[in-house]
Amino acid sequence: MLVIAGLGNPGARYARNRHNIGFMAIDAMAAGHRFGPFRARFSGLVSEGTIGGERVLLLAPQTYMNESGRSVGETLRFHKLDTSALTVLHDELDLAPAKVRVKVGGGNAGHNGLRSISAHVGNDYRRVRLGIGHPGDKALVHNFVLSDFAKAELGWVDALCRAVSDAAPLLVEDQDASFQNKVHLALEAAGFGEKGSD
């Protein structure tokens, strides 16, 4: 069994925030792979299904971003899984909008959700970094991530979430480079190639 956790803040007021793109991506996965409804468990919302023949639990922690590790830790402990079974989807300021990078371990780059998860379960889990761009000034970051995507951005946001869902079987098979390539090719085909360039 694998756990794919999308990060965000709970509640309607945060639903379209840049910080919530992890929630948006797992919602797209649940829809794209015909998962069951999300139910309240492990201080989060959980939906179970299969991707690429593998049993997958999609998790949206409902603890607020800076306590995400509590929900992730409960989930892994209950299912007796270690961090090798965990993939976390999160917003990434240091990537251009619609760019995707996958890495295992490494630093948390000031991301409170990742910091919390690493504190609860260790650092050796896979992160799918979903680029949202940077406001250009460190002082503006807090308001930037907690503000909604602009109307003009929703096209690439929806295309990115759909592409992540479509490529998810590669993620499940540990084909991280192929997953990245498939997502970027899908975005180019949808007309968002420029957004996805470095």
Residue 35 CA from chain centroid, whole number: 17
Please state the three-class secondary structure of 68-120 as a single string.
Answer: HHHHHHHHHHHCCCCHHHEEEEEEECCCCCCCEEEEECCCCCCCHHHHHHHHH
Which pLDDT value is given to residue 193?
A: 75
Strands 86-92 and 54-61 come out as unpaired
Write down all domains in the chain, each with its CATH number in brackets.
Answer: 2-189 (3.40.50.1470)
Q: Output the CA torsion 67→19→55→37 (10° steps).
A: 90
What order of strands is seen across the sheet that includes strand 100-104? 39-41, 44-51, 54-61, 2-6, 86-92, 126-131, 100-104
**Distance from C-alpha of 164 to C-alpha of 32, rounded to nearest angstrom:** 10
- The token pair that represents 45 in the structure block: 């919302």
Closest CA to 177 of 131, 125, 128: 128
Closest CA to 99 of 196, 181, 177: 196
Residue-level pLDDT, tens digit, the chain, 198 residues = 999 999 999 999 999 999 999 999 999 999 999 999 999 999 999 999 999 999 999 999 999 999 999 999 999 999 999 999 999 999 999 999 999 999 999 989 889 999 999 999 999 999 999 999 999 999 999 999 999 999 999 999 999 999 999 999 999 999 999 999 999 999 999 999 754 344
Q: Which of 19, 33, 90, 184 is catalytic?
A: 19
Residues in the chain: 198
Active site residue 184: no
Which pLDDT value is given to residue 109?
A: 84
